């Protein structure tokens, strides 16, 4: 499972002109699911995202987590995070999980983030052609891969 986490001042997702999710300060999380992903990967990633201390404290240092700043999450499904570009110019997405696996994992991540944060996670629509607008704060962008969870 891969995630690209962007610290934002605000963000929204639109499908066919209608807002599907909108947040103020917090994270836009682009989430890619792979066939090999497990419940353990979901739990690890949800904890890492919500515990990420990248918001400024009173001294301007990145010491605060999402909960410390009353931040929100906009979660967007993003199978293209598993693009393979080694050969040719057309990416292959063979490693990305098919919808029958990816949709339940995405929905489980929403529930997990809701539980951890105590807030409703804003979302896009899985598989839709979404238009994501955001005001990147910093910019601060972090990439996480659950394959790295055992490497210290």
pLDDT in tens, 62-114: 999 999 999 999 999 999 999 889 888 999 998 899 999 999 999 999 999 99
What's the confidence (pLDDT) of residue 149? 82
Question: Is the pTM of the predicted complex or chain greater than 0.85?
Answer: yes
**Direct distance between the N- and C-terminal alpha carbons of the chain, in angstroms, rounded to an integer:** 17
- Across 53-60, average pLDDT: 95
Residue 34 has pLDDT above 60, yes or no: yes
Which class for 68: exposed (0-12), middle (13-18), buried (19 or more C-beta within 10 A)? exposed
Of the pLDDT bands very low, low, confident and very high (cuts 50, 70, 90), residue 151 is low
d(CA 4, CA 52): 12
Whether 80 is catalytic is: yes
Which residue in the list 20, 38, 50, 80 is annotated as catalytic? 80
Domains of the chain: 2-144 (3.50.80.10)
Mean pLDDT for 11-33 is 98
Give, as one character, the DSSP assignment of residue 88. S
Q: Do you know the residue count of the chain?
A: 152
DSSP letter, residue 97: P
- The residue among 96, 126, 94 whose CA lies nearest residue 108 is 126
């Amino acid at each position: 499972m891969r995630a690209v986490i962007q610290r934002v001042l605000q963000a929204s997702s639109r499908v066919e002109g209608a807002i599907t999710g909108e947040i103020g300060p917090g994270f836009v999380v682009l989430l890619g699911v792979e066939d090999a992903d497990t419940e353990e990967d979901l739990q690890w990633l949800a904890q890492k995202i919500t515990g990420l201390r990248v918001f400024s404290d009173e001294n301007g240092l990145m010491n605060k987590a999402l909960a410390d700043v009353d931040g929100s999450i906009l979660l967007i499904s993003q199978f293209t995070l598993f693009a393979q570009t080694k050969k040719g110019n057309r990416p292959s997405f063979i490693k990305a999980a098919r919808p029958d696996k990816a949709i339940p994992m995405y929905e489980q991540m929403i529930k997990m983030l809701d539980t951890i944060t105590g807030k409703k996670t804003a979302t896009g629509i899985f598989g839709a052609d979404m238009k994501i607008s955001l005001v990147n704060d910093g910019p601060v962008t972090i990439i996480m891969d659950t394959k790295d969870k055992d490497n210290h």
